[in-house]
């Protein structure tokens, strides 16, 4: 069957080009993630997700043989990212790219990808507007900042928590998130009773906590970069007794990320977050995904959003390659196929926007709870098909 097909394909191609064709074309996929330093968790999750996907669905989608080329972006470092993208595109001749991660890296890669017409998946950068015009071959499977920062405002007001205090870390994504949240709060007729921007390198929160206490809000909305600062502020709010006195702690999923929620500990219980994925998501696909991922990566490596984004990038890749079965790989067709494409992801249904390749997805409001003794983000409400704008 296979030989018959390839003979047919070869015959078909021979009529259009004199080039001899291989029975099985190899598609090289560049995987550009952080594999070293404090951000190496992203690379680790990406690797697990890709490995798992290829175990489950085979290594030859649409008759194409896949070859992975991995490189370490070392974190948000546009110079390195640009060099690596240039290298894998010109020297290794990759036809697809998963990554690079982080907004600065994604921005730096865009001109090369546009010039070389290499489709890419954005699996780890959330800033608005980085896919679309600047990189017509990019598809985002992560999330866009407004998707996380807007929904909590109407949710809070609906619960009767109308006086909100906003705390963000003082860096570009923090400013962006602050803007989106405040807009949404105004739209929902909530009241902003105060806001703070905390420095990135100051884990001492007591002064800020006092200012929150003085403003007497019903709830506080937090946006912090993933990691230490998120752990610090949730614990500080808990230790100050504010949480016990009834203050609602809200924030983007970063503050109770599965990667370190155990380090936050009891302080996390009851924290409300907006997120795109929780291992607790109730669907058959997710149950299966969690089970097999845990079997592969072990209990200790909990599943983060990067893993799901990489998984979805693979799903989209396989779908697009199947659609090109028997033909020669065409990057432009590949990117075009994904526009408007809809898939079922472990996080729920997602759609790639027709006009610019950004993602439309459900956003979940979750409450951190202990489930069978393990801290989990339990979904309590769903905002359907939230736009990336």
Partner 1 sequence: MSVMDPAPAQISTSGRDYFATLARWKIWEILFWAALAGCYFVPEMDRMLMSRVIIWGLFAMSLDILLGYRGIPSLGHAVFFGTGAYVAGFCGKYGWTEPISALFFAMAIAAALGWLTGKLVQRVAGVGLLMVTLGLNLILFDFVLRSTDLTGGDDGLQGIVIAPVLNMFRFDIYGRTAFWYALVVAFILFVAARILVKSPFGLALIGARENPRRMITLGAPVEGDVSRAFMIAAALAGAAGALLTQTTQTVAPPTLSFQRSADVLVILIIGGAGRLYGGFIGAIVFILLQDYLSSISPVYWYFWIGLLLVVIVSFFRKGLLPSLDALLQRFIKRKPDTPS
Nearest approach, Cβ of 198 to partner 1 (angstroms)?
14
Query: Would you tell me the crossing angle of helices 305-323 and 40-57 to the nearest 10 degrees?
Result: 40
Give the residue, chosen from 22, 91, 245, 355, that forms a contact with partner 1 under the rule CB under 8 A. Answer: 91
Counting contacts by CB under 8 A, is residue 378 touching partner 1?
no
108 binds partner 1 (CB under 8 A): yes
x/- site string to partner 1, residues 5 to 44, per CB under 8 A?
Answer: ------------------------------xx---x--x-
Shortest Å distance, C-beta 175 to partner 1: 8
CA atoms 155, 160, 164, 167: torsion sign: negative
Query: In the complex, what is the shortest distance from the CB of residue 196 to partner 1, in angstroms, rounded to a whole number?
Result: 17
Q: Does 90 bind partner 1 (CB under 8 A)?
A: yes
Least gap, CB of 89 to partner 1 (angstroms): 7
Residue 140 touching partner 1 (CB under 8 A): no
Task: Tell which positions 303-342 bind partner 1, by CB under 8 A.
Answer: none
Query: C-beta of 85: minimal distance to partner 1 in Å?
Result: 9
Q: Does residue 129 interact with partner 1 by CB under 8 A?
A: no
Q: Give dist(CA 56, CA 177) in Å, integer.
A: 37
Residue 246 CA: distances (Å) to CA of 216, 236, 240, 270: 11, 15, 12, 11
Smallest gap from Cβ 127 to partner 1, in A, equals 8
Judged by CB under 8 A, the stretch of 106-114, 185-193, 316-324, 342-350 that binds partner 1 is 106-114
Closest approach, Cβ 98 to partner 1, in A, equals: 13
Q: Which is nearer to partner 1, 134 or 328 (CB)?
A: 134
Which tokens hold the place of 307?
């893993």
Count of residues near partner 1 by CB under 8 A: 29
Segment 54 to 83, residues that bind partner 1, using CB under 8 A = 70-72, 76-80, 82-83
Strand order across the beta sheet in which 96-98 lies:
65-72, 26-33, 96-98, 120-122, 138-140
Told to check if 49 binds partner 1 by CB under 8 A, we report no
* Site of interaction with partner 1 (CB under 8 A): 35-36, 40, 43, 70-72, 76-80, 82-83, 86-87, 89-91, 103-104, 107-108, 111-112, 115-116, 171-172
């Amino acid at each position: 069957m296979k030989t018959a097909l390839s003979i047919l394909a070869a015959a078909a191609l021979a009529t259009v080009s004199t080039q001899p064709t291989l029975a099985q074309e190899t598609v090289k996929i560049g995987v550009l993630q952080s594999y070293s330093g404090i951000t190496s968790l992203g690379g680790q999750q990406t690797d697990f997700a890709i490995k798992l996907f290829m175990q489950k669905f085979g290594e030859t989608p649409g008759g194409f043989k896949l070859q992975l080329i991995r490189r370490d972006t070392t974190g948000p470092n546009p110079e390195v990212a640009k060099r690596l993208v240039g290298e894998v595109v010109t020297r290794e001749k990759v036809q697809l790219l998963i990554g690079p991660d982080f907004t600065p890296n994604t921005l730096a890669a865009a001109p090369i990808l546009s010039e070389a017409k290499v489709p890419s998946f954005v699996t780890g950068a959330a800033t608005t507007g980085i896919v679309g015009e600047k990189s017509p071959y990019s598809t985002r499977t992560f999330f866009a900042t407004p998707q996380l920062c807007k929904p909590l405002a109407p949710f809070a007001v609906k619960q009767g928590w109308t006086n909100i205090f906003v705390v963000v870390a003082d860096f570009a994504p923090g400013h962006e998130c602050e803007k989106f949240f405040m807009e949404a709060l105004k739209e929902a007729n909530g009241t902003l009773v105060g806001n703070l921007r905390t420095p990135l390198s100051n884990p001492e929160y007591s002064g800020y906590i006092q200012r929150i206490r003085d403003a007497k809000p019903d709830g506080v909305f937090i946006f912090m970069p993933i990691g230490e600062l998120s752990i610090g502020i949730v614990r500080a709010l808990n230790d100050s007794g504010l949480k016990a006195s009834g203050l609602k702690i809200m924030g983007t999923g970063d503050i109770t990320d599965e990667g370190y929620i155990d380090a936050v500990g009891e302080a996390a219980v009851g924290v409300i977050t907006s997120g795109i994925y929780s291992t607790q998501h109730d669907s058959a696909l997710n149950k299966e995904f969690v089970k097999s991922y845990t079997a592969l990566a072990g209990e200790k490596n909990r599943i983060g959003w990067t893993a799901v984004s990489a998984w979805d990038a693979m799903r989209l890749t396989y779908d697009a390659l199947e659609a090109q079965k028997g033909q020669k790989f065409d990057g432009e067709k590949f990117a075009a196929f994904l526009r408007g494409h809809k898939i079922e992801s472990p996080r729920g249904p997602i759609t790639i926007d027709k006009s610019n390749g950004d993602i439309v997805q459900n956003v979940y409001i979750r409450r951190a709870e202990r489930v069978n003794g393990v801290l989990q983000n339990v979904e309590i409400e769903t905002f359907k098909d939230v736009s990336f704008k």
